[in-house]
Structure 1
Amino acid sequence: MSRTQDPHRPSFPFGNAFRKILPKGSSLPPKPAEALTRFEKKLGDRLWKLVPENKNDIVSLSWMRRAIQSLCETHTDIKDVMSELDFPVSDWDVKWVDVYLDNSVKLLDICIAFSSELSRLNQGHLLLQFVLHNLDASSSKQLMRASTSLDGWRQHISSKNPRVENCLSILYNLIQSLNLPKVKNSAKGKVLMRAMYGVKVQTVCICNMLAAAFCGSAKNLVDLHIDDRGNYLWANAFKELQIRVNTEIRDLFRTGRSSVLKELEAVDTSVKALEPMTRDGVKPEEGNLFQDRIADLGNGAEKLSRGLDLLTKEVDHFFQIVLSGRDALLSNLRVSSTNSEISENKAKGQTLLSF
């Protein structure tokens, strides 16, 4: 599916874009305003880059890897926004902290589930290697072994992963927490919550797409709806991405496919072609065709394994970013708590001992 026209990026006057997030009678200093504008524009550009230009990109392991890379960049950007806002954690509302910590745990669980599924899929590569080894031989016994391994691979790939199934309920809970928290009397706080809303929308959307692809079902694929009144600079890009990808995933599953992963489907096609050729343990008379099918399987297996490895590394990277952000918040909270305790004790004329 090619893009029919150049993406239309919204252009809003600054006052209109942020009027709804600021307290009445307040004005936003230039630095926080610029930080928010820069963040939203970068998020929009990042989402446009994920909009597939071709249907064959949906859903490939390479597209999944780019999607997780995009999440890594966005989660890194929000740290820069917090730094530019000069809005210390000690000024956060306790509800913001609770929501952030709760959501970060859920994201870590999702990363673990995705890594588990990628590892499970990669285990099938050993079966394919065994198949290819036996197909190199001409004995009936080894051809029968290859046939058995081909059947074993298909059973392995079609099995379900409970961890990924559990992702769906985790994502549902994250979706319920998407709404912007109420912020009173803090322009910087409203800006921070607005930026974090963009992070959460992109994160939930992409994780939902990947979970649906891994689960082999579109029934839990969710279409997120964002408030158009927010005038988010990334809104058009997000809507286009969600429509393109979700529509294609649903269309693919309607055809009866058990997987929408392009690389996995290519290997499965080769396996289906080789199964009748090896079932009787007799080498087919169509020698050239048989060798072509073996070559197809070898190439497909290599692409699948390489794609799974690269995606696994990106998921691990995202896990570390989420974990480091969570650790940094907890560390800042401890420092803030300690400083507050020191100030209180000094006021009482007490001395704290350091061990």
Structure 2
Amino acid sequence: MSRPQEPHRPFLPFGNPFKFILPKGSYLSPKLLALLNAFEESLTERVKSLKPGGKEDILTLSWMTQAISTLCLIHTDVKTLITELELPVCDWDEKWIDVYLDNSVKLLDICIAFSSDISRLNQGHLYLQCGLHNLDGTSNQFMKARSSFDGWKQHINSKNPRLENCFAILDSLTESLNLPKIKNSAKGKVLMRAMYGVRVVTVFILSMFAVTFSGSTKELKDLQIHETCLWTEAFVDVRDFISQEIRSIYSSGRITALKELEVVDTSVKKLYPLIQNGVDPNEAEQLQLLTSNLTEKAEKLSGGLDLLAKEADRFFHILLTGRDSLLYNLRIDSTVSNPAEVNNNVERKEVR
């Protein structure tokens, strides 16, 4: 992968792209080539949809919700591909199963960590509601409002220990991106090539989320990928655009890359000095304007977090049902092939 300051090499300027994608000497039937081509073209369009319309749209709650929704579509696409390949679990190499089960557990752990942080941010809305409720004009109520806003600041700036584990998990997923080599299965080669693309995009999006929630770019890395995939050009474009903007956001001194949270924090900072020593009658109109503004921004933040939580939960269930389906098929296959060993085989697979 070329460095950001260097021009990217031309992307597949001529010839058959599949000779770059597959090992020398590999043969795929026209049907398999068509399936792989259709999947990678679809993945390219999914990746392109991740690029925000402008810098102001990067890492907004609406973008994050769309990104998770795109992940759901991508993981559904690969399930459809598996069905179209007519590649039953009994024909899967044991290495593939190891990788899939191991990765699914790690992705589920990341989803749980993200959901807990979304809940943490949403709980901060209660402090804002209490603070806004107490802005009725008396000095005693202003004191309560200040206390609530102080509580909000402390709550928002608190750290979620589960996020620290996410970075270690993402590092592990990144290190294992290169899947086992496929020797004698044409369908297996197509599946592994598709799974590689799914895993790259998944790790990238979840890494962006982890950096956003943690409030730090120290773990922001440019994901290394093969430059022979049909979706590479689109991915590099999105990766560079978003990574550069995140670095710019944090270098400017902002507390978070999440736009809606930053807007609310700015509104609180404007309102707080006004109520610190009581409000002068001449400032009543300004107080009303600032209160209305904070109310609007707080509701937008809370609503956006709710939508993101729903999509994160949907992605979690897609991962979980995929894992459950594989384990179910392993049980069926084990029962058919050797009923006496079914219990041992299932236990061995489930702990991976």
Give the alignment's TM-score, normalised by structure 1.
0.90
- CA–CA distance in structure 2, aligned partners of residues 298 and 290 of structure 1: 12
Contact map agreement 2:17 2:230 (CA 8 A) in 1: no
The aligned residue for residue 334 of structure 1 is 331
- Output aligned runs, 1:155-304, within 5 Å: 155-228=154-227, 230=228, 232-283=229-280, 285-304=282-301
- CA–CA distance in structure 1, aligned partners of residues 20 and 232 of structure 2: 17
The offset of 1:41, in angstroms, is: 0.6
What is the aligned-residue identity percentage?
55
Q: Which amino acid aligns with 1:330?
A: L
The offset of 1:27, in angstroms, is: 2.7
Contact map agreement 2:177 2:200 (CA 8 A) in 1: yes
- CA–CA distance in structure 2, aligned partners of residues 149 and 343 of structure 1: 63
The aligned residue for residue 88 of structure 1 is 88
- Output aligned runs, 1:101-112, within 5 Å: 101-112=101-112
- CA–CA distance in structure 1, aligned partners of residues 255 and 172 of structure 2: 26
| 1:28-51 CA distance string (max 9 Å, x none) | 122222111111111111111111
Q: Do the aligned partners of residues 139 and 343 (structure 1) sit closer, same or farther apart at CA in structure 2, a change above 3 Å counting? A: closer
The aligned residue for residue 117 of structure 1 is 117
Contact map agreement 1:277 1:284 (CA 8 A) in 2: no
Give the alignment's TM-score, normalised by structure 2.
0.91
SS at 1:285 equivalent: helix
- CA–CA distance in structure 1, aligned partners of residues 13 and 144 of structure 2: 63
Contact map agreement 2:59 2:257 (CA 8 A) in 1: yes
The offset of 1:282, in angstroms, is: 3.7
Contact map agreement 2:124 2:152 (CA 8 A) in 1: yes
| 1:117-161 CA distance string (max 9 Å, x none) | 0000000111111111111x1111001111111111011101100
SS at 1:251 equivalent: helix
| 1:49-78 CA distance string (max 9 Å, x none) | 111121111110000000000000000000
- CA–CA distance in structure 2, aligned partners of residues 192 and 260 of structure 1: 36
The aligned residue for residue 72 of structure 2 is 72
Contact map agreement 1:60 1:263 (CA 8 A) in 2: yes
The CA RMSD over aligned residues, in Å, is 1.8
| 1:255-280 CA distance string (max 9 Å, x none) | 11111111001100100001111112
The aligned residue for residue 345 of structure 2 is none
Q: Does 1:50 align with 2:24?
A: no
- CA–CA distance in structure 1, aligned partners of residues 270 and 224 of structure 2: 43
SS at 2:49 equivalent: helix
Contact map agreement 1:115 1:312 (CA 8 A) in 2: yes
The offset of 1:342, in angstroms, is: 5.4
Query: Which ranges of structure 1 fall in alignment gaps of 5 or more residues?
Result: 1-7, 345-355
Q: Do the aligned partners of residues 132 and 318 (structure 1) sit closer, same or farther apart at CA in structure 2, a change above 3 Å counting? A: same
The offset of 1:19, in angstroms, is: 5.3
- CA–CA distance in structure 1, aligned partners of residues 339 and 32 of structure 2: 31
The aligned residue for residue 3 of structure 1 is none
Q: Which amino acid aligns with 1:233?
A: L
The offset of 1:82, in angstroms, is: 0.6
The offset of 1:284, in angstroms, is: 5.7
- CA–CA distance in structure 2, aligned partners of residues 55 and 238 of structure 1: 17
SS at 1:220 equivalent: coil
Q: Which amino acid aligns with 1:87?
A: L
SS at 1:286 equivalent: helix
The aligned residue for residue 142 of structure 1 is 141
The offset of 1:12, in angstroms, is: 5.8
Task: List, as ranges, runs of 4+ consecutive aligned residues in structure 1 with deviation greater than 3 Å.
Answer: 8-13, 281-284
| 1:290-348 CA distance string (max 9 Å, x none) | 1111011000000000000000000000000000000011111111111111599xxxx
- CA–CA distance in structure 1, aligned partners of residues 281 and 168 of structure 2: 49
Q: How many residues align?
A: 332
Q: Which amino acid aligns with 1:285?
A: N
Contact map agreement 2:166 2:210 (CA 8 A) in 1: yes
Q: Do the aligned partners of residues 176 and 72 (structure 1) sit closer, same or farther apart at CA in structure 2, a change above 3 Å counting? A: same
- CA–CA distance in structure 2, aligned partners of residues 262 and 11 of structure 1: 39
- CA–CA distance in structure 1, aligned partners of residues 306 and 97 of structure 2: 34
- CA–CA distance in structure 1, aligned partners of residues 280 and 314 of structure 2: 46
SS at 2:47 equivalent: helix
- CA–CA distance in structure 1, aligned partners of residues 31 and 285 of structure 2: 68
The aligned residue for residue 346 of structure 2 is none
